[in-house]
Amino acid sequence: VRIISTHNGVDNLFNQYIQDAREGRKDYSVHRITLDDAIADGLYRRICYVTNQPWSPEAEKAWRDGLYRNAPNKESADEEYGCIPKKSGGAYLSRVLIEAAMTPVRDIPILRFEAPDDFESLTPQMRHGIVQDWCEQELLPLLDALSPLNKHVLGEDFARRGDLTVFVPLAITPDLRKRECFRVELRNVTYDQQRQILLFILSRLPRFTGAAFDATGNGGYLAEAARLIYGPEMIDCISLTAAWYQEWMPKLKGEFEAQNITIARHQTTLDDLLHIKVDRGIPQIDKGRTKDESGKGRRHGDFAVALCMAVRASYMNGFVIDEDSIQALPPRHRGDDVDNDDFDDYHQFERGGW
């Protein structure tokens, strides 16, 4: 069965089918073809061939502009030719929907580390020591308390100055519900110390299955650092584009609508998620900023991006051992390490995505 249609508003059943498919509730395949896509694939050339008219770039542009110009208004033209349903705009997630997924912060802590003004002037050893102490005091008790029965994934939104770097580990329970374990927010922290904190978390997540990183711009550093250690099967390095938002924001919304996700109750959580706006039919982070209720700076939907990344990571399957991987292991012979052949190292493998 193929359903081929233009839009007829956001509330039309056709648009609801599309949203259901993008959110994963329907096993449909969505194909979005705008007028500009069709022109790029030769639509106007074909029209000229069939009607025996000469083709030129100028004539093609005039034909396209004429279609838009003769529409009743720009909104109608975008709906007819741009696959953007009318009345799109405003907040993507409602306040009621967000608050229904919240649980008190005492159950899901939010940890913040803001580098002091003289942090960069310290020696590398001093910076490492300060951050290591913070990790062991703040992060380690939370990581030790995670259940080994749950799979764990992580989402990240990167920033070096001004905005926040946010790490969001999600626990995936046996019944496939998702729950934010805790949240880490970093402001003005050096690249090396961001890497230090990230690896401290990843190396201690039970049954770590995958992570998705904002690799846009400078974010590529942290994403690559994790990818080199854990491999491409475990780490997805993502350049944020409208196409990516269009694919994954509906899946994030689907988690909220299905009441399948639990997040920390806090004003900054709400503020960041309300930064997701529908722009020309695509849910993405708007350009505005809000005051950080818990820090000195401002926020730009940082948690929203990290949470969406974590939802994307929840679709990853972890590292799968295949025949080639097994053959790559060094051979073991009877009598090797006889004196040390005990089970002390057994539990080092508990964090795999089994």
Percentages helix, strand, coil for the chain (3-state, rounded to 5) are 40, 15, 40
- The predicted structure's pLDDT at residue 8: 75
Same domain? For 119 and 65 the reply is no
Q: Which two tokens stand for residue 139?
A: 């992060």
158-162, 176-180, 209-213, 275-279: range with lowest mean pLDDT:
158-162
Taking the C-alpha atoms of 312, 273, 304 and 135 in order, what is their torsion angle to the nearest 10 degrees?
-120
20: domain range? 13-82
Q: Which two tokens stand for residue 345?
A: 């190292």
- 92 phi and psi angles, rounded to 5 deg: -80, -40
Three-class SS string for 308-332? HHHHHHCCCCCCCCCHHHHHHCCCC
Same domain? For 35 and 122 the reply is no
pLDDT in tens, 312-331: 999 998 765 555 554 555 55
In this predicted structure, the answer to whether residue 2 has a pLDDT above a threshold of 90 is no
The pTM for the full model equals 0.72
Same domain? For 112 and 228 the reply is yes
Residue positions counted in the chain: 354
Same domain? For 143 and 20 the reply is no
Residue 354: inside a domain, yes or no?
Answer: no
Assess contact for 192 and 160: CB atoms under 8 A: no
Question: What span, in angstroms and rounded, lies between the C-alpha atoms of 152 and 133?
Answer: 24
Question: What span, in angstroms and rounded, lies between the C-alpha atoms of 240 and 279?
Answer: 15
Same domain? For 158 and 250 the reply is yes
How many independent structural domains does the chain possess? Answer: 2
How is residue 116 annotated by DSSP?
-
pLDDT in tens, 265-300: 999 999 999 999 988 888 999 876 666 665 566 788
Q: Is the Cα dihedral 318, 154, 302, 193 positive or negative?
A: negative
- The predicted structure's pLDDT at residue 9: 75
Same domain? For 64 and 104 the reply is no
Question: What span, in angstroms and rounded, lies between the C-alpha atoms of 191 and 198?
Answer: 11
